[in-house]
Chain A
Amino acid sequence: MKKVILSVLAGIILSVAVSFFSHKNSLENLGFHLGLYNIAGEEKAIEETLKLFNKHFGTFFNTGGKLEGLSEFPASNLIKRRIFQEINEWTKKNQILVYDKDSFKIEEITLFNSATAIAVAKEVWFLNVQERDTRKKISPVKANPIRVRYVLKKLEGMWRVVEYEVFSNENDIPALTKDRLLL
Chain B
Amino acid sequence: MMNAATLLILSFNVTYYLIERNGFFSGATIPVSNVIYSIPFLSASLLFLIFTLLTTFRNIKNVKMSEWGYVTTVILLISGLWLSYLTHFRGEAVLTEGQIFYSGHGDYLPGTIDQGRFANMPDIGLKLEELVPTLSKDQKHLKGMKGKFSLLSTESDKQREAVITNGLPAFLDGTFYRIKDMGYSPRYVLESKEGKFLDSSFIFMKLFPPGSEDNFRLLSPLTYYVRYYPNGNDEKNEPLIGLRIVRNKDIVYNGTVTMTEYADFENSRISFEEVRRWTILTIYHDPGALLSIPVLILAFVYTIVKIITGKKSSYEQT
Contact = CB atoms under 8 A, between A and B. Distances in A.
Interface in B174-232: 206, 211-213, 215, 220-221, 223, 225, 227
B221 A15 contact: no
A140 B187 CA distance: 35
A23 B25 CA distance: 6
A3 B254 contact: no
B110 interface: no
B16 A8 contact: no
B15 A12 contact: yes
Given A18-B16, A29-B27, A113-B28, A10 B247 contact: no
Interface stretch (B4-12, B58-66, B96-104, B288-296): B4-12
Interface string B1-27: 000110111111111100110111111
Given A14-B8, A29-B27, A166 B221 contact: no
A123 to B, nearest CB: 7
B46 to A, nearest CB: 15
Given A8-B8, A18-B40, A19-B16, A170 B27 contact: no
Interface stretch (A40-48, A65-73, A80-88, A130-138): A80-88
Contacts of B250: 97, 125, 127, 144
A165 B227 CA distance: 14
A14 B16 CA distance: 9
Interface residues of B, number: 41
A25 interface: yes
B27 A25 contact: yes
A3 to B, nearest CB: 5
B246 to A, nearest CB: 5
A102 to B, nearest CB: 12
Looking at B26, B206, B220, the one whose CB has the most chain A CB atoms below 10 A away is: B26
A97 to B, nearest CB: 7
Given A29-B24, A30-B24, A8 B11 contact: yes
Contacts of B13: 11, 15
B244 A171 contact: yes
Given A25-B27, A29-B24, A168 B244 contact: yes
A23 B35 CA distance: 13
Contact of B25 (A26, A97, A99, A125): A26
B8 A11 contact: yes
A57 interface: yes
Contacts of A114: 27
A63 to B, nearest CB: 15
B25 A30 contact: yes
A82 B248 contact: yes
Contacts of B26: 23, 26, 29
B28 A144 contact: no
Nearest to A154: B27
A11 B40 contact: no
B15 A115 contact: no
Contacts of A146: 249, 251
A36 interface: no
B251 A170 contact: no
B7 A11 contact: yes
